[in-house]
Structure 1
Amino acid sequence: MIEPEDMRITRAAYDGVAELYAGLFQRQLHDNVFDRMMLEAFAEAVRDNGFGPVAEIGCGPGRVAAHLAAAGLEMSGLDLSPEMIRLARAAHPDIPFEVGPMEELPYADGALAGIVVWYSIIHTPPVRVPAILTEFARVVRPGGQAVFAFQAADEPTGVTEYAHKVALAYRWGPDTFTETLAAHGFRVTASLSRAARPDERTPHATVLAVRV
């Protein structure tokens, strides 16, 4: 693929802050009951559906993949940033991690029982998100599970630019994201929107979905 400029910018930005990022977010799941609750619901859905391999796309230093591995899932991780993958491999040597773009996933059609997209599409221009969701749908088997987390727009519809501290980002209205998922292979089964915590600047949303 021809790499878009925003991908090069995002990779360089996260390579530059990888150590700082890993330290800042090390305890985020421990401190956020809502995130843990949605991840546990995702893990239970994967278990109820017969297990199988699960990939975290945009895994960063691997904290979410490690959390789900501890819950019994067969995890792997992929990230655009080589520095993030270096940290993930060092911190979690029992989980396979590799460098790569989410636009071209290194998995066969229907190979995955689930996919985790934890704040991973926030830097992707909205015009490219439908193609990425189609790629996600390609690698998840019918009936497989997906969980998405993102900074939420103030209104339920639309997409707005967001001055993220690392690189330009986009906030999705939860209803708009749900509709976009439905048009590209996924049916939403649950969603949670929450207010910003004291250390956050925006509302957040988490969406559980099944591959149709």
Structure 2
Amino acid sequence: MTDEATRAAYDNASRNFADDWAAQPAPTDLHALVRRYFRPGPTADIGCGSGRDAGWLASQGFPTIGFDASPRLLAEAGQRFPEVTFHRAELPDLAGIADGGFTNVLCETVIMHLPREAIPAAVRRLVALLVPGGVLYLSWRVTEGEDRRDEHGRLYAGFPASLVQDALGDAVVLFEEEVGSLSSGKLIHRIVARRAEG
């Protein structure tokens, strides 16, 4: 249920987006949270784009697989980070990815590109990917009020944080903040949560 105009925007300008992300300052705030909360083990980067975060995760010793809905961004990722495995999958279903297969899941500024009604199912699916006790890092760009589209046609859904919080179910929130990203400069909301052990 990925928004088609958003996927088309990424496919049509994949090289430009990949170059822009590569030129941004390193997301050291994200890196600090990963180092604090992620545990050694298989790691998924959902909505990996051109692979910047997946490549960094792999360089830090996390065996990482990147997943994205855009075939052309995945091609960029494979060229830029050949040491990482990349596959096509899209939220909220993430068809072909088994439940309970990852110690860590990263989903950095992705879910706001989904239609609002798909977001709870996407969050539940992200939690389901984790082993019991596994850790999810989830963030999204904050849009106040109504949904918006940028100059590329990408959807930025407007929704309250409670939509995500409620969908986490019995996952334990370890960290939460709303802050300007050190990489993009945009206002983002981020949550780190641990899947229940039972």
TM-score by length of 1: 0.81
The answer for the alignment partner of 1:164 in structure 2 is 150
The answer for the alignment partner of 2:32 in structure 1 is 40
Give the 3 Å change call, closer, same or farther, for CA 75–165 of structure 1 in structure 2. farther
Q: 1:62 Cα shift?
A: 0.2
Structure 2 alignment gaps of length 5 or more:
none
Of 171, 179, 187, which residue of structure 2 is paired with 1:186? 171
Of 14, 17, 22, which residue of structure 1 is paired with 2:10? 14
Q: Is the contact between residue 178 and residue 188 of structure 1 (CA under 8 Å) also seen in structure 2?
A: no
The answer for the alignment partner of 2:116 in structure 1 is 126
Any idea what SS the aligned residue of 2:38 has?
Answer: helix
**1:146 maps to 2:136:** yes
Q: Distance in 1 between matches of 2:37 and 2:184?
A: 30
Q: Which amino acid aligns with 2:157?
A: Y
Q: Is the contact between residue 57 and residue 78 of structure 1 (CA under 8 Å) also seen in structure 2?
A: yes
Q: Is the contact between residue 65 and residue 77 of structure 1 (CA under 8 Å) also seen in structure 2?
A: yes
Task: Report matched runs for 1:89-128 at 5 Å.
Answer: 89-102=78-91, 103-128=93-118
Using CA pairs below 8 Å that are at least 6 residues apart, which structure has the higher relative contact order? 2
Structure 1 alignment gaps of length 5 or more:
none
Q: 1:112 Cα shift?
A: 0.5
Q: Is the contact between residue 120 and residue 164 of structure 2 (CA under 8 Å) also seen in structure 1?
A: no
Q: Note the alpha carbon deviations across 1:152-183, whole angstroms, 9 max, x for none.
A: 245xxxx6413334312114444x25523433
Any idea what SS the aligned residue of 1:26 has?
Answer: helix
**1:57 maps to 2:42:** no
Q: Is the contact between residue 46 and residue 107 of structure 2 (CA under 8 Å) also seen in structure 1?
A: yes
Give the 3 Å change call, closer, same or farther, for CA 162–109 of structure 1 in structure 2. same
Q: Which amino acid aligns with 2:4?
A: R
How many pairs are equivalent?
194
Q: Note the alpha carbon deviations across 1:88-141, whole angstroms, 9 max, x for none.
A: 000000100011212224322211001111111111111111111222122211
Q: 1:43 Cα shift?
A: 3.5
Q: Which amino acid aligns with 2:149?
A: A
TM-score by length of 2: 0.86
**1:210 maps to 2:197:** no
Q: Is the contact between residue 112 and residue 144 of structure 1 (CA under 8 Å) also seen in structure 2?
A: yes
Q: Distance in 2 between matches of 1:60 and 1:133?
A: 18
Give the 3 Å change call, closer, same or farther, for CA 180–39 of structure 1 in structure 2. farther
